[in-house]
Amino acid sequence: MAKAILNDTTKCIGCRACQVACKSWHNLPGEKTSFSETWSNPRYLDADNFNRLIFREIVSPEGQVSWHFVSRRCMHCLTPACASACPVGALKKMPNGPVAYNDDICIGCRYCMMACPFQIPKFEWGKAVPYIKKCTFCVERLEAGLEPACTSTCPTGGLLFGEREELIREARRRIAKGNGRYYPEIYGEKIGGGTSILYLTALSFEQLGLNRQGFRTDLGDYPHGLYGREWMSKVPWVALTVGGLSAGLYFVNKRRAEVAAQERKEDKP
Amino acid sequence: MSTGTEYRLTPGRIILLVLMAAGILASLYRLLMGLGATTNLSDAYPWGLWISFDVLTGVALAGGGFTISAAIYVFNIKKWEPLLRPAKLSAFVGYLIFVAGLFFDLGQPWRIWHPMIMWNPESVLFEVSWCVMLYTTVLAIDVFIMALERWRAEFWVSFFRNIYVFLIVAGIILSTLHQSSLGALFLLLPEKMSDLWATGAIGPLFFVSAIIGGMSMVALESILTASAYGREAKMEALTGLAKGLGVTLLVYFAMKVTDLYARNATVWSLDWPHILFYVEIFGTVALPALLLFFPEIHHSRKGILWCAGISAFGVLLNRFNVSLTSYGGYRDFWYFPSAVEIIVTVGLVAMAILIFDFGMNYLPVHPERAPAGEAHAIVR
| pLDDT value for B153 | 87
Give dist(CA B24, CA A179) in Å, integer: 66
pLDDT score of B380 more than 50: no
Residue A239 with chain B: CB contacts under 8 Å = 173, 176-177
Taking residues A236-240, report their average pLDDT: 94
Q: What angle do CA B157, B160, B161 make, to 5 degrees?
A: 85
Which tens digits make up the pLDDT trace of B29-61?
999 999 999 999 999 899 999 999 999 999 999
CA atoms A30, A31, A34, A40: torsion sign: negative
What are the extents of the domains in chain B? 26-365
Phi/psi zone of residue B326: left (φ > 0), alpha (ψ -120 to 50 degrees), beta?
A: alpha
Cβ neighbors of B348 (< 8 A, separation 6 or more) are B23, B54, B97, B100, B101
Do the beta carbons of residue B293 and residue B253 sit within 8 Å? no
Taking residues A215-241, report their average pLDDT: 92
Q: How far is CA B84 from CA A227, B66, B69, B143, B144, in A?
A: 36, 9, 6, 11, 15
- Maximal C-alpha separation, chain B: 66
| pLDDT value for B75 | 93
Q: How far apart are the first and last CA of chain B?
A: 25
Give dist(CA A80, CA A85) in Å, integer: 9
Which tens digits make up the pLDDT trace of A36-75?
888 888 888 999 999 999 999 999 889 899 999 999 999 9
Torsion of CA A133, A134, A137, A143, to 10 degrees: -10
* Shortest alpha-carbon distance between residue B194 and chain A (Å): 14
Interface A–B counts its CB contacts (< 8 A) at: 184
Candidates A125, A218, A253; nearest CB to B42: A125
| pLDDT value for B315 | 97
Q: What is the mean pLDDT of chain A?
A: 93
pLDDT score of A113 more than 50: yes
Residue B298: half-sphere exposure toward Cβ, Cα within 13 Å: 21
pLDDT score of B263 more than 70: yes
Contact criterion met (CB < 8 Å) for A130 and B124: no
Helical axes B124-150 vs B64-73, angle rounded to 10° = 70
* Shortest alpha-carbon distance between residue A1 and chain B (Å): 25
Residue B30 with chain A: CB contacts under 8 Å = none
Backbone angles phi, psi at B4, to 5 degrees: 75, -165
Residue bearing the bigger pLDDT, B70 or B230: B70
Taking residues B201-230, report their average pLDDT: 93
3-state class of A98 per DSSP?
coil
Which of A113-127, A243-257, B261-275, B298-312 comes out lowest in average pLDDT?
Answer: B261-275
Q: Closest by alpha carbon to A187, among A37, A49, A77, A31?
A: A77
* CATH of region A3-79+132-223: 3.30.70.20
Q: What is the mean pLDDT of chain B?
A: 89
pLDDT score of B306 more than 50: yes
Q: Tell me if the bond preceding B115 is cis, omega within 30° of 0.
A: no
What are the extents of the domains in chain A? 3-79+132-223, 226-269
Cβ neighbors of B358 (< 8 A, separation 6 or more) are B7
Give dist(CA B119, CA B123) in Å, integer: 9
Q: Which stretches of A73-116 are assigned E, i.e. beta strand?
A: 91-93, 99-101
Taking residues A5-30, report their average pLDDT: 95
Residue bearing the bigger pLDDT, A191 or B369: A191
Which tens digits make up the pLDDT trace of A167-185?
999 999 999 998 889 999 9
Taking residues B83-97, report their average pLDDT: 92
Taking residues B161-185, report their average pLDDT: 93
Taking residues A244-253, report their average pLDDT: 93
3-state class of A16 per DSSP?
coil
Give dist(CA A212, CA B131) in Å, integer: 36
Residue B34 with chain A: CB contacts under 8 Å = 125-130
Which tens digits make up the pLDDT trace of B92-129?
999 998 899 999 999 999 999 999 999 999 999 999 99
Q: How far apart are the first and last CA of chain A?
A: 86
Q: How far is CA A211 from CA A67, A99, A117, A203, B91, in A?
A: 17, 22, 11, 12, 44
ipTM for the complex shown: 0.91
Quickly state the pLDDT bin for B377 (edges 50, 70, 90). Answer: very low
Which amino acid, A81?
A: A
Backbone angles phi, psi at A93, to 5 degrees: -85, 120
Candidates A229, A232, A249; nearest CB to B74: A249
Give dist(CA B71, CA B335) in Å, integer: 40
Residue A235 with chain B: CB contacts under 8 Å = 127, 177, 181
pLDDT score of A269 more than 70: no
Which amino acid, A209?
A: G
DSSP A26-67: TTPPP------TT--SSSS-BTTBS-EEEEEEEE-TTS-EEE
Candidates B129, B187, B331; nearest CB to A231: B187
Q: How far is CA B50 from CA A47, B56, B123, B365, in A?
A: 22, 9, 21, 30
Nearest residue in chain B measured CA to CA from A81: B188
Looking at the DSSP assignment, which residues form a beta bridge with residue A198? A6
Quickly state the pLDDT bin for B228 (edges 50, 70, 90). Answer: confident
3-state class of A181 per DSSP?
coil
Looking at the DSSP assignment, which residues form a beta bridge with residue A66? A58
Quickly state the pLDDT bin for B217 (edges 50, 70, 90). Answer: very high
Contact criterion met (CB < 8 Å) for A232 and B73: no
In this structure, chain A runs to a length of 269
Cβ neighbors of B176 (< 8 A, separation 6 or more) are A238, A239, A242, B66, B207
pLDDT score of B361 more than 80: yes
| pLDDT value for B331 | 59
| pLDDT value for B252 | 97
Residue B257: half-sphere exposure toward Cβ, Cα within 13 Å: 10
pLDDT score of B16 more than 60: yes
Q: Which of B27, B41, B125 to mutate to test the interface with A (most CBs of A within 10 A)?
A: B125
* CATH of region B26-365: 1.20.1630.10
Taking residues A116-123, report their average pLDDT: 94
Give dist(CA B45, CA B336) in Å, integer: 10
Q: Closest by alpha carbon to B99, among B65, B143, B50, B138?
A: B50
The rounded percent of chain B whose pLDDT value lies above 90 is: 71
pLDDT score of B328 more than 80: no
Residue B185 with chain A: CB contacts under 8 Å = 111, 114
pLDDT score of B237 more than 60: yes
Do the beta carbons of residue B90 and residue B65 sit within 8 Å? yes
| pLDDT value for B266 | 87
Looking at the DSSP assignment, which residues form a beta bridge with residue A53? A71
Cβ neighbors of A187 (< 8 A, separation 6 or more) are A198, A199, A200, A201, A205, A215, A217
Which amino acid, B284?
A: T
Do the beta carbons of residue A73 and residue A45 sit within 8 Å? yes
What b/e readout covers B307-335, taking b as 16+ CB neighbours within 10 angstroms?
Answer: bbbbbbbbbbbbbbbbbbbbbebbeeeeb
Quickly state the pLDDT bin for B375 (edges 50, 70, 90). Answer: very low
Task: Please state the three-class secondary structure of chain B as a single string.
Answer: CCCCCCCCCCHHHHHHHHHHHHHHHHHHHHHHHCHHHHCCCCCCCCCCHHHHHHHHHHHHHCCHHHHHHHHHHCCCCHHHHHHHHHHHHHHHHHHHHHHHHHHHHCCCHHHCCHHHHCCCCCCHHHHHHHHHHHHHHHHHHHHHHHHHHHCCCHHHHHHHHHCHHHHHHHHHHHHHHHHHHHHHHHHHCHHHCCCCCCCCCHHHHHHHHHHHHHHHHHHHHHHHHHHHCCCCCCHHHHHHHHHHHHHHHHHHHHHHHHHHHHHCCCCCCCCHHHHHHHHHHHHHHHHHHHHCCCHHHHCCHHHHHHHHHHHHHHHHHHHHHHHHHCCCCCCCCCCCCCHHHHHHHHHHHHHHHHHHHHHHHHCCCCHHHCCHHHHHHCCC
Nearest residue in chain A measured CA to CA from B78: A253
Looking at the DSSP assignment, which residues form a beta bridge with residue B20? none
Which tens digits make up the pLDDT trace of B199-208?
999 999 999 9
Cβ neighbors of B329 (< 8 A, separation 6 or more) are A119, B44, B45, B192
